[in-house]
Amino acid sequence: MLTQAKEVELREFARQIRIHTIRQIGLRGFGHIGGCMSIADLLSVLYGDQLKHDPKDPQWAERDWLVCSKGHAGPAIYAALALRGFFPMEWLETLNQPGTNLPSHCDRKKTPGIDMTTGSLGQGLSIACGVAQAHLLNGKSNTIYCIMGDGESQEGQNWEAVIYAAQQRLGNLILFVDDNQAQIDGYVRQIGQMESYADKFRSFHWDVADVDGHDLSAMHDAILRAKSITGVPSAIVLHTVKGQGCTFALRSWCHHMAVSKEDMEEALRALNA
C-alpha cells in the first residue's frame, strides 16, 4: 500500500507529467496526446517510486529498464525524465524541432534515460525479453518493464514474445498493457477485438493482474506483487482512458491531433486549478 503522503506525492508528479506533456505537444502544435495521457499515472508510479534509476547516470548497471513499445508515448516519458533531472526542463520545448533530442518516438541514441528505441509497433516486448534474459543470465536482479498499447497488441510479434517470455521464465519482466480502447482509426473493439487480455496472458502461463490504470495505489500494489512472483513473467493490464486528464483530448478523437494555443492553455488551467 502506498502511504497517504507518497500517494499525494505521486499524484502531484502525475499532474506535473501531464502539464509538461501537454506543454510539449501544445508548443509544437500537434502530437500523440491521447496515449501519453493514458500512461501518465503509470509513469508517476514508475519514475516516482518503483523504477530504480539514477538521473546522473542513465546507463547505471543497477537500474531498472523501461521499454515503451508504444514509442509514440515518448513525450510523456520525456516529461517524467526531465522532471527527474535526466536533462534540462528547457529541452521539453524542443519536441520534434529540427535537431532535437526529443523525437516523437522514443530513441535511445538521442535521449538520456530512454532505454530503447521504438516506434514501429509491436517490437518492444521482444527487445524487453532480450534485456530481461541478459540480466537473468548475468545473475542480476534488475526489473525490466515494458509498456504495450492495446491497439499495438494486434501486431503478431507481440505474441511471439509472449510465448518466448514464458518459455524462458523471464520472471524479471513486467509488461503493462495500456488498455485505453482506442487506436488511430477507431475503437479497438471495432477494428481488432482483443477480448480479455488477462485470459490471453494466463493461457500462456503469465502472471496477470487487472487494475485501474489511473489508480496509483492499485498500480503500485500490482507492481509489488508482480515483483514478488519469480519464474514467470507478469502482465499488468491497465484499464485507462485515452486522453485522461487533458480537457481537449477528452472531447476529441485524440490518438494524434492538432493542438491550438487555446487548447493548451485551457488544459493547463484545468490541471492547475
Grid cell digits, residue 108: 535511445
Confirm or reject binding of residue 175 to other proteins (CB under 8 A): no
Among 108, 169, 205, 227, binds other proteins (CB under 8 A): 108
CB of 123 to other proteins, least distance (A): 5
Chain centroid offset of residue 93 CA: 21
Among 132, 148, 182, 218, binds other proteins (CB under 8 A): 132
Confirm or reject binding of residue 109 to other proteins (CB under 8 A): yes
Compute the distance between CA of residue 181 and CA of residue 188 in angstroms, rounded to an integer: 5
CB of 66 to other proteins, least distance (A): 13
Compute the distance between CA of residue 262 and CA of residue 270 in angstroms, rounded to an integer: 12
Please say whether the beta carbons of 261 and 24 come within 8 A.
no
Q: What is the DSSP letter of 241?
A: -
Residues numbered 154-173 forming contacts with other proteins, rule: CB under 8 A:
156-157, 160-161, 163-164, 167-168
DSSP sequence for 180-240: --EETTEEHHHHS----HHHHHHHTT-EEEEEETT-HHHHHHHHHHHHH--SS-EEEEEE-
Please report which helix (H) or strand (E) contains residue 92, including its range: none
CB of 261 to other proteins, least distance (A): 33
Compute the distance between CA of residue 50 and CA of residue 42 in angstroms, rounded to an integer: 10
**Cβ-based nearer residue to other proteins, 8 or 134:** 134
Confirm or reject binding of residue 141 to other proteins (CB under 8 A): no
Among 138, 228, 230, 272, binds other proteins (CB under 8 A): 138
CB of 114 to other proteins, least distance (A): 10
Confirm or reject binding of residue 131 to other proteins (CB under 8 A): yes
**Cβ-based nearer residue to other proteins, 131 or 182:** 131
Please say whether the beta carbons of 198 and 208 come within 8 A.
yes
Binding-site size for other proteins (CB under 8 A) equals 32
**Cβ-based nearer residue to other proteins, 107 or 152:** 107
The three state secondary structure string of 105-126 is: CCCCCCCCCCCCCCCCCCCHHH
Confirm or reject binding of residue 128 to other proteins (CB under 8 A): yes
**Cβ-based nearer residue to other proteins, 25 or 132:** 132
Confirm or reject binding of residue 28 to other proteins (CB under 8 A): no
Q: If 0-12 CB within 10 Å is exposed, 13-18 middle and 19+ buried, where does residue 231 land? A: exposed
Confirm or reject binding of residue 96 to other proteins (CB under 8 A): no
Question: What are the residues binding other proteins (CB under 8 A)?
Answer: 67, 107-109, 115-120, 123, 125-135, 137-138, 156-157, 160-161, 163-164, 167-168
